[in-house]
Structure 1
Amino acid sequence: MLKVNRRNNSRHYRIYQKDETVRFELELKHRQTKLVQNYLFTNQLDVFEYELVLQYFKSSERLLRSDYSYSDWILDFQRRSQAATASRPLVANYIENQVIKNQEEEEERLFHLLQFLSFVKSLKLNPFKDCQKHKIKNQSYYELKFSLTQFVTFTGMRLSNRCEREKLIFYFYQLKKLDPIVKVFSKMAFRSYVCFPYVDCANPSGNSWTIEVLVAKELFCYPYPFQLPTSFLVSKNKNYLRLKLLFIKSLAFSGQKKRLDLEKFFNRINVRNDSLIKIKKNIIQLLSELVGNKSIQNKVEIILKSSKKKDTLVRKLTNSDITRRVKYVQLYETLQKIE
């Protein structure tokens, strides 16, 4: 399908079909092998493998279009490369649309789940050294133990009274109620297991709450995080939480183009004009933060219900641009070059 350079060149990249599958292949020869061969000769096999993979993805990124549907694996690698050096803490899986339901309780539970998974990632635990592993049949779980204060500090929450603290503790109680993970093998064969089979909240000293949780391996070791700014960890009220979930759901889409569906959002809220103005300002503020954190590009496209389009920059957005006439805003993910 594609050949770059001749077969006897130092670098030869090709895409071809074999056994009904498409293969992407990079061959390194001559002086190119000298860049990595010392790692092999000195038995640094992990570094040797990493450098080869890096060369492969660099070449793929340079030669292929990243917005092509069959090159989304390049986007995944770029995101993981950015995640390794980024300090932005909020992690979200590629959320399917049906995961976020309309019920307020379900929305809040999902938001707290994302907070918790991000907190787990921030601990930077090595599953082989730092966590005790448990096995239930064929399913693996990792044991976590932390103070409630650690979680509150990470999220930036402010627990001003006992009621708010009890509400947060009750959230951990509800972890085990999350929908199970289901693996389907055929029409009649499947395996189902809960994400958090054991949760313990205790305050033995009377001064500090301790949380102990068993987390399914799939959640604990999820390898392809999508990262968002720190501000997405906290919600001030119900509509602000809904707005942030709208952003998270839009940005967690695996393609480079993201759709912020404002029509659905505005149809769900019923607020006075002064509150609506605040929401519009929040939308512009969140977009500005995403641009500042290099999560999205400054250029956006506003699509109206009438099908009219308007190209603009986030820094030039005003409240008059964010109206109920808007169907959605097209965003474009910013991806840094692989280094």
Structure 2
Amino acid sequence: MGYRIVVAGATGNVGREMLNILAEREFPADEIAVVASSRSQGEEVDFGETGKKLKVQNIDNFDPTGWDMALFAIGSDATKIHAPRFAAAGCTVIDNSSLYRMDPDVPLIVPEVNPEAIAGYRVKNIIANPNCSTAQMVVALKPLHDAATIKRVVVATYQSVSGAGKAGMDELFEQSRNIFVGDSAEAKKFTKQIAFNVIPHIDSFLDDGSTKEEWKMVVETKKILDKKIKVHATCVRVPVFVGHSEAINIEFEREISAEEAQNILREAPGIMLVDKREDGGYVTPVECVGEYATFISRVREDPTVENGLSLWCVSDNLRKGAALNAVQIAELLGRRHLQKAD
């Protein structure tokens, strides 16, 4: 027997990607329901490349009783309404919004990093998916932390516009086209022009001068990996459609060479090491699109701090940063806690 799965937010970028990945990975689902807001009711979405069409139902009227898991990609406001309702009906919610990430009664899971923490889902019947930029970073950090214990991380992100949803992707496309034909490139979704530009501002500003996106990377890394790790982040939006990149500087408690780190990363789950010290011997966002892996390149020693390394980290943010991680959580939940009898 397989599972009965709900995908909430099925008409958005992440929801569609969830459906693609469920199909690609042949997730053991006997039945899949797709739900969204009332304005999308009746639309049809593709179940990956299977040729199967699924009709969107109104989440407000959907009864989750008897369904095993729900993958949520509907934003915090709608999640606040519907996640407790689904969870109370016995349908475990795997939530992609930021709403529950720092809730002490909700596990925040990256399956390659802290799979054992998933047992905590029983308290609220909800599991949180981390921020896209956090997810790929902790996959890279985990094996190195196990080997040499990380003290401090300084990260600068180069985040694609798909992290801001369809409106962000549309704005980059429209501004780029307008600039080429001599029209104005008015900023609507972003605070400044994004085409041919970079914006050092993602989410709202906090009192200490950091942004909420930067704060998320700090607190989520501590919750997922180790509360003792010090993290400082600068998050930047760049004119790339899909794929987040990160320049990560790491300080360890013990000495670790670039060669040792490369050997560790080469064998680590979820990581693809592409690190040739030659032209093109690294991975860029264009090459990571549609891939499952978190790609690591440019591993090198940092002589300015004791036991320091720097590396370049790239991943498809709609996949590992959101949809893939959610499906991996569902797979982990099924294997460990919701096994179905044949």
TM-score (norm 1): 0.23
Give the structure, 1 or 2, with the largest relative contact order (CA under 8 Å, sep 6 or more). 2
Bigger helix share = 1
TM-score (norm 2): 0.23
